[in-house]
Amino acid sequence: MRTRGWIIPAAALAAALVAAGSAAQPSSARAARDTATRPEPVVIELFTAQGCAGCPEANARFESVATEPGVIALTYAVDYWDYLGWEDTFARPEFAQRQRDYRRSLRLRDVSTPQVVIDGRREVAGAQTPALQSAIDEEAARRGFPPEIEFRASGDRVGVGSGRPPSGGAEVVAVTYTPGPQEVEIASGDNRGRTVRHMNVVRSLETLGDWTGRPVLYALPDTLGPGQAVAVLVQSKQDRRILNGAVLTSD
């Protein structure tokens, strides 16, 4: 396994994890050096569908910012467009539920696609590039003191350090995805005959446990296959804002 993302060792976290039974260490010293000067990432989440006529263009705009330094980009396919005649090959009900959770926390009237949620704090409907880039830049400037995240060298566990938990508590979520672009040929529905391209397609969601402000070591999902990655997010339960995130990729 190799680490990629914002994994910054901290003496306090390491000491706490040793007390818990193991110190979480980055699996790559180079990765630790390269990321030590970076701020915590901005997490951008695209909700899209292969059967949505306006989504291919939004997917492309999302991809244009997905590889920026300091960004974790995740694409969730939703299933509520399937009624138009094409069953989305990447969609899962829990992805649409995640979008509905954001609807409530962001106080939106309804869910819609395409939609990008930035750091769980705000949304950009249609993934319009100027608004999306502006939101990313503004969130990057709004950096606090989040709990640090470290992956154990064995790649099977992740440590989350100490910090001030949000009102209502927080949870640690593992998002397994396939890095890079994927293309799907659409045979029916509104996008019939088109090849739709997706970036960093999410495969599964799993809540690893609660985070109460104290250092904790969590077991990672054992479903991470070759060529896949897992983004670990520390997320407020109440207002859904993302406190921090980090990525582990498989070789």
- pLDDT band at residue 125 under the 50/70/90 scheme: confident
Phi and psi at 138, nearest 5°, equal -70, -40
Residue 18 has what pLDDT? 41
CB neighbour class for 109 (10 Å; exposed up to 12, middle 13-18, buried from 19):
exposed
Residue 128 has what pLDDT? 78
What lies within 8 Å, CB to CB, of 237 at 6+ separation is 166, 168, 169, 170, 171
Chain center to CA of 121: 13
Residue 38 has pLDDT above 70, yes or no: no
Cβ pair 6, 146 in contact under 8 A: no
pLDDT digits (tens, 9 = 90+) for 203-216: 999 999 999 999 99
Cβ pair 139, 123 in contact under 8 A: no
- Tell me the residue range of the domain where 75 lies: 2-249
Nearest to 56 by CA among 114, 133, 140: 114
Residue 16 has pLDDT above 80, yes or no: no
* Mean pLDDT, the chain, integer: 85
What average pLDDT does the segment 150-157 reach? Answer: 93
What average pLDDT does the segment 152-177 reach? Answer: 95
Residue 242 has pLDDT above 90, yes or no: yes
Rounded CA-CA distance 101/112 in Å is 13
Residue 34 has pLDDT above 80, yes or no: no
Residue 78 has what pLDDT? 97
What average pLDDT does the segment 134-150 reach? Answer: 90
Residue 39 has what pLDDT? 63
What average pLDDT does the segment 182-186 reach? Answer: 97
Residue 44 has pLDDT above 60, yes or no: yes
For the chain, percent of residues with pLDDT exceeding 70: 84
Tell me the CA distances in angstroms from 38 to 33, 57, 84, 140, 229, one per residue in order: 10, 30, 44, 10, 20
Residue 12 has what pLDDT? 42
Hey, what amino acid is at 200?
Answer: N
What average pLDDT does the segment 191-207 reach? Answer: 96
The pTM for the full model equals 0.85
What average pLDDT does the segment 140-162 reach? Answer: 91
Residue 7 has pLDDT above 60, yes or no: no
7-21, 25-39, 138-152, 226-240: segment of lowest average pLDDT: 25-39
More confident residue, 17 or 154: 154
Nearest to 19 by CA among 218, 210, 153, 216: 216
Task: Report the domain count for the chain.
Answer: 1
- pLDDT band at residue 126 under the 50/70/90 scheme: confident
Residue 171 has what pLDDT? 98
Residue 135 has what pLDDT? 93
CATH code for the domain in which residue 149 is found: 3.40.30.10
